[in-house]
Amino acid sequence: MTPQRPLKSLLSLAVAALAAGSAQAQQLQLEEVVVTAQKRVESLQDVPISVSAVSGQRMQDAYITNLESLTTYVPNFSMNQSGLSNNITIRGVSSGINPGFEQSTGMYVDGIYYGRGQLSRLPMFDMERVEVLRGPQPILFGKNSIAGAISMITAKPTDQFEGSVSALYEFEENQQDYRVVLSGPLSDTLSGRLAVMYREQDGSFVNVNTGDDEKQEEEGLVRGALRWMPTDNLDINIKYEHADFDDNGRNVELAQSLVREDLQGTGVGIDYVSALNNFVGLANNVLMLDPPVDFAGEDGKLNRVRGGNGDSHTNSSDVLVLGVDYALGDYTLTSTTGYLEYEFEQECDCDFSGASVFDAVQDESFEQFSQEFRITSPGGETVDYIAGVFFQSNELDFKDSIDVPANSLLRLLNPNFNSINTDRFATQESDMWAVFGQATWNVTDTLRLVVGARYTEESKEATKQQVHYAGGTAFPATDPSGAVPNVFFGLNPLFGSFAIEPYDEIRGDRDEQAFNPLFTVQYDLGDATMLYATYTEGFKAGGFDIRSNGHPDPAVVNACTLDTSTTPPSCARDIVGVFEFDEEEAESFEIGAKMGLGSTAELNMAAFYTEYTNLQTSQFDGILGFNVTNAGEAEIKGVELDGRWLVSEGLTLSGSVAWLDFEYTDFRNNQCYFGQQVMDPGAVQPGGVTCDATGKRKEYTPEYSGSVSAEYILPLGDSLELRTVFDLVFSDSYLFNPTLDPRSEQDAYAQYNLRVGIGDQAGNWEVAFIGKNLSDEDVVTYGGEAPLAGALTGGTGTAYYQFLDRPRTLALQALYRF
């Protein structure tokens, strides 16, 4: 039985019980959830948006350390790490793999836009709350927030002295986590807060090649904040944060090694793992490797055992935020100034095997400055409004390299295939400004009309260059058919094919404008129910592709397959890449209800329909590159429900569930999955490289997903209490490969989490047991076809690399507050 069926029954019973239970327990009162989703402090029940809010206390109890672990508790929301990037998905919409992308989900920390995918991996600590706003958010969170917005609010300095220390040890992955927070007044008008966190772990994968447990993680974060209130009208907040978050190894392995279905049982064809083993064995014998390569561990099974020659990922970031609120009569003037920079370096054994074949190195540095000025009217007037201007400027420097080391097994193809590499250099500068406003007309005590708009102008300039090297010497970007690196990295089938074309620096610039409106109608049906309907348009700027491996002009032929049947030899096929991609747009309709069922229960519902045009997608070229394309059109519709019920003193039930229907209505240029040209020839487009995905669902779009939680607090005597939290998290099946390969499907699953803590009733101390994924489900978060699989199997077989989420983990946590 799939997880969604019992949930339907549970939901029906819960709704019926809510109404009955609320009438029997009027003396109980649910605690109000306060959010700032509309840049005002409001009750969640008054906000006409589908919002999930997770408090800092909830994050601490559930041991949520980053966005990836937060997704467990928010339906229609996921964050996935791939081999070279990170992706945030809301309602099935995400950006794909390409360093030229900004995220389709706008991520904001204390009002500062974090658009780069790498920043989604930042550790989360000492948070006040996190709000996930689903659907386009074009006005108040307007920078590219076409899928939704994540607003993260860190804890602020307090007027009273307080602090906490905590420690956690997790047994399965040898995880250690230490945290210290100090907050309080420094003078009559000045208060401060210091938060320090350090975490490390070994991981759940075994690398049989290195002998290490993977992936090993090490994170450190220091945040200092000051709050100065020199007068009753002026509130100044300044925050500085430095974070380091590093990995060694990966939670990825080769799985599903197979022969193409039409060749199975014919004796023709070979699967990828077998082909690799044969190739390694041949290399050992011919090259007389000493010591010989041991290829054990690559068994093509999903068992958390992998090869690999070592992967690493180092990151550092610095953020400075200055926020000023000034009360001008009943109005509030707000200034938010932000400076952000980060650097990261990644070394990837991207053939995902224990053999020495090739390595990928990626370096990225980024700087951003932003300034927003905003005026907020006093609430409760006939017309309430927020208006402002926003400016942002950023610079990106990017380099990546494909390296063939001196001991590469590719020497078997040609002894010169060692100590060669190809490097890509790219830069991008962007300046953007916007003016925005949102007004609420309180027509009557029960009827409100909301109108909003944002006008945006953005300019970008970019450069890109591809250079091949041998022994440190660069080779010119001309037709160099006799040069070793160009033969190897080009399209010569005699020596393998990486399909990477050298070219001199290319430049591009683009300027675009967007006007995005919003219209909302709110109506109070009685004292406890609010209905709303919204129409909005979203926009995500275009940009420049960084990971494409060919020159965008087909007339530039610097690498090709030589056709020796002609005189002189000619190019049978050229590598044609992309450089620029267009903006993405959305139109969205949403209706919803926020209902209070007495004082002890609430139920919120949202139904939505969104049309996307020019969806920006990144497609693996089947070898080593990724090409950005605008996918055409898609229709997304769904329903989201969430609710809480204070059943009795000490017992609270909460839950959320989402139904999602995603359909590409026009997507004729998707990358073909392995064997699709044979298995589904009707989908193959002219040229045989792309396939029609019209009518299909996107990856990461389970039909159903959600969670149910029960929290129970039991007094023990006069001073102690037992606090228990149980979570059921479930998902329907979904595809995890952007090619939409039907072999790459994650089965429906249900995970169970449990936290049992004992402490004093005043909340000064607590010791807790935390168990996550107690059902020990194997959940694949990303996957794709192994690079070079087609070359080694002659196109007859493949294998898939798959990233796995954490298995069952068991931890002890101790906390002391003062």
Residue 35 and residue 156: Cα distance in Å, rounded? 15
Residue 207 and residue 192: Cα distance in Å, rounded? 45
pLDDT at 570: 53
Residue 249 and residue 354: Cα distance in Å, rounded? 12
Alpha helices for 667-742 (secondary structure H): 676-679
* pTM of the model as a whole: 0.89
Instruction: Give me the phi and psi of 295, to 5 degrees please.
Output: -100, 20
- 10, amino acid identity: L
| Residue 305 tokens, joined | 């055992």
- 328, amino acid identity: L
Calculated CA dihedral for residues 123, 125, 128, 134, nearest 10 degrees: 20
CB 456 within 8 A of CB 514: yes
pLDDT at 499: 78
Adjacent-strand bridge partners of 607: 591, 639
Instruction: Give me the phi and psi of 415, to 5 degrees please.
Output: -60, -20
Alpha helices for 288-432 (secondary structure H): none
Query: How far is C-alpha 623 from the chain's CA centre?
Result: 24
User: Which of 392, 574, 365, 544 is closest to 462 using CA atoms?
Assistant: 544
> What is the CB neighbour count within 10 angstroms for residue 133?
27
> What is the CB neighbour count within 10 angstroms for residue 472?
8
Q: What is the mean pLDDT of each run of 10 residues along the chain (818 residues)?
A: 42 46 62 91 93 91 87 85 77 82 90 88 92 94 89 96 96 95 97 97 89 92 98 97 92 91 91 86 76 69 85 92 96 97 89 78 94 95 96 95 82 77 93 97 96 96 92 74 67 62 92 96 94 95 88 79 57 75 94 94 96 84 71 92 95 96 92 91 86 93 95 95 96 93 95 96 95 95 84 88 93 96
**482 DSSP 8-state letter:** T
Q: SS3 for 683? A: helix
What distances in angstroms separate CA 157 from CA 184, 195, 816, one per listed residue?
A: 6, 10, 19
pLDDT at 78: 87
pLDDT at 356: 78
pLDDT at 3: 43
CB 271 within 8 A of CB 259: yes
| Domain 4-817 grouped into CATH 2.40.50.140 | no
Calculated CA dihedral for residues 491, 494, 495, 498, nearest 10 degrees: 20
Residue 306 and residue 273: Cα distance in Å, rounded? 12
Q: Would you mind telling me the total number of residues written for the chain in this entry?
A: 818
pLDDT at 104: 87
The residue whose two tokens read 């794909």 is 96
Complete DSSP assignment for 265-278: TTT----HHHHHHH
pLDDT at 16: 47
User: Which of 487, 464, 463 is closest to 475 using CA atoms?
Assistant: 487
| Residue 453 tokens, joined | 């708009």
**297 DSSP 8-state letter:** T
CB 256 within 8 A of CB 800: yes
pLDDT at 736: 92
| Residue 425 tokens, joined | 């250099």
DSSP E strand stretches across 405-502: 420-442, 447-470, 473-475
Longest CA–CA separation in the chain, Å: 96
pLDDT at 22: 45
Adjacent-strand bridge partners of 466: 424, 503
What distances in angstroms separate CA 290 from CA 286, 416, 536, 555, one per listed residue?
A: 12, 19, 65, 46
Q: SS3 for 105? A: strand
Q: Could you tell me whether strands 305-306 and 205-207 are parallel, antiparallel, or unpaired per DSSP bridges?
A: parallel
CB 256 within 8 A of CB 743: yes
| Residue 762 tokens, joined | 């005043």
Sequence-distant (≥ 6) Cβ neighbours of residue 354 within 8 angstroms: 208, 209, 293, 294, 295, 296, 297, 298, 307, 308, 309
CB 321 within 8 A of CB 340: no
Whether the ω angle into residue 136 lies within 30 degrees of 0, i.e. cis, is: no
**496 DSSP 8-state letter:** B
User: Which of 594, 614, 576 is closest to 500 using CA atoms?
Assistant: 576
pLDDT at 21: 47
CB 787 within 8 A of CB 623: yes
- 766, amino acid identity: E
